[in-house]
Structure 1
């Protein structure tokens, strides 16, 4: 069922509405592989930096329409992408013990499905907006657990700055939480080499790697060690150690994919050029470290006060690519909320 934005406005009920904003996060210790597909429980814990750039803004309204309506960028979602959202809304309906249909209107400021964490920001914003529209009052741990059911990495975008996602062993124990990082001011430059949706989704790439790569068990064994090393480096505000661990962990993740049958290769020639550029810049005295997720686009970690210089140096070497400068940002928060039909601005973060 397709409705125009004007029709959506007229079908909104008086039950509730909420708009939430969430930023992408980039993992410094990666999440790759699920041991429970239904609950999205990871094999290992992970750690990330929530950014202050390229957010997702999502409005959820309870409606009196016969079916859910889901828009992304003003266009109706269809097929698997739509089903993923409506299944998530079903979880919220079950938590609230309610059955109203909804309209979901979401806008990404970052390319969707290109390995730039659009699912993290998207499901974090959806979790907060939907739970609020249905009258739920979730604390941040519960909100993180809910967001995880849409996209594992979304569990971390609930929080400001650095967050660790505990792998856990069931729904209750698998959640993210903030990691204090006094004295460690991080920045990042995201490079956009290819904004198109990747041909192998993250979910399919993970599944293939877990099922077929002989290197994956070593990843599961080693990643918890690197996570503890990363937490120790953050505690002592050791940027060099943080960057070294992050770059190493990313390369090891991609090594597990290359060992899959058939191999999962998200890199392209431009990705390798950027990886070489990062090594050269570091050799020239601009301390920075590369990380990559399930896509060709390279993210480059640096100190917060070096972001502008790093972005300029990248564009000087590669003038035809896109760059997104970023620093540590806020977690998911409400922009507006209309519980019970009352409208108004909300200045709080929107979750306890």
Structure 2
């Protein structure tokens, strides 16, 4: 048996939509940052059984979530030339269903543990490509820190472009807000939005700006670009055929108050496909943000994160 851990991620320049939903190949590149101490810990044990088995947070899983896990396991089996089935146990240190990217950390840890237990030769690029088959964002959770998802002639994978130790003053305050938006549904909807072509036109320049900001360690520029991309992404989501609206009253209140607080100190919001905002600021302002949003109606808890590292074997 092998065990691995990985951190979920906050999208900075977020990916939206898959031009190949089976292989999970995106329409465009993306950049994210992993959020420590949040983590998924996953164990994989290959054995001579008849079926794969998946348990997440103590619950046996079937349906679409199970199928996505099998896609990753099948790729590892193919590369390790085995037909053995797997017993998978995964546990998250943070809530699911609130837009914190549990699939990214879960599939990153799954792919790494599966390769380790299979005995196959692997490197982190291969782990990243394989984790992507379960969740696109998982490829970036494999490499950790600030990572870029690249699709080129050699594959679709992630590389780390910013190390955690270079961003020690970055604090990520997360007021948890429940959401009912299904990420896969949002990705399926992108081409129906009249704004999606505009997003594709805008994305390359934004990726270049974000990479420059990361290279130069300009954290406030990173935060500002992430907030800008949030508005762009959700405009596409809201204007698809289904009119998916991930935000709720608490999300809107936090957005408005964050904008007001910016008059006092640097703080920027960033929201992935769900309703929970990430508030990017300096460590010295953590307590003020916690105090500000602790009593907000609809906020179930407040987490405080820092920039996390890559997936690792335990």
Task: Give me the whole-angstrom Cα distance separating, in 1, the residues matched to 2:76 and 2:216.
Answer: 40
Asked if 1:265 is matched to 2:249, the reply is no
Shift of 1:208: 1.1
Cα-Cα RMSD: 1.8
Does 2:213 match 1:213? no
Tell me if the contact between 2:199 and 2:232 (Cα under 8 Å) persists in the aligned partners: yes
- How has the CA–CA distance of structure 1 residues 328 and 164 changed in structure 2, closer, same or farther, with 3 Å as cutoff? same
Report how many aligned residue pairs link the two structures.
Answer: 312
**Counterpart residue number, 1:173:** 155
Residue 150 of structure 1 deviates from its aligned partner by 1.1
TM-score with structure 2 length normalisation? 0.94
Contact 1:64 1:100 in 2 (8 A): yes
Conserved 8 A contact 1:41-1:169:
no
Deviation sequence 1:183-216 (CA, Å, 0-9, x none) = 544221122111x6x2x42111111122x10100
What are the equivalent positions in structure 2 for 1:194-205 lying under 5 Å apart?
194=178, 198=180, 200-205=181-186
Q: Which runs of 5 or more residues in structure 1 are unaligned?
A: 1-16, 336-352
Task: Say yes or no: does 1:281 pair with 2:261.
Answer: yes
Pick closer, same or farther for the CA change 1:246–1:316 going to 2, 3 Å: same
| Contact 1:140–1:158 (Cα < 8 Å) also in 2 | yes
- In the alignment, which residue of structure 2 is the partner of 1:294? 273
Q: Is the 8 A contact 1:308 1:325 kept in 2?
A: no
Structure exhibiting the larger radius of gyration computed from Cα positions: 1
Residue in 1 that maps onto 2:309: 330
Tell me the CA shift for residue 52 of structure 1. Answer: 1.0
Matched, 1:58 2:58: no
Q: Name the counterpart of 1:313.
A: 292
Q: Secondary structure at the match of 2:121?
A: coil
For the residues of structure 2 that align with 1:88 and 1:301, how far apart are their CA atoms? 32
Query: Which residue in the other structure is 2:96 paired with?
Result: 112
Distance 2:258 2:218 in 1: 19
Q: In 1, distance between residues paired with 2:143 and 2:285?
A: 23
* Correspondence for 2:124: 140
Flag structure 2 segments of 5+ consecutive residues without an equivalent: none
Residue 225 of structure 1 and its aligned partner are, at CA, apart by 0.8
What is the CA–CA distance in structure 1 between the aligned matches of 2:213 and 2:188, rounded to whole Å? 31
**Structure 1 residue 140: deviation in Å?**
1.3
* TM-score, structure 1 normalization: 0.84
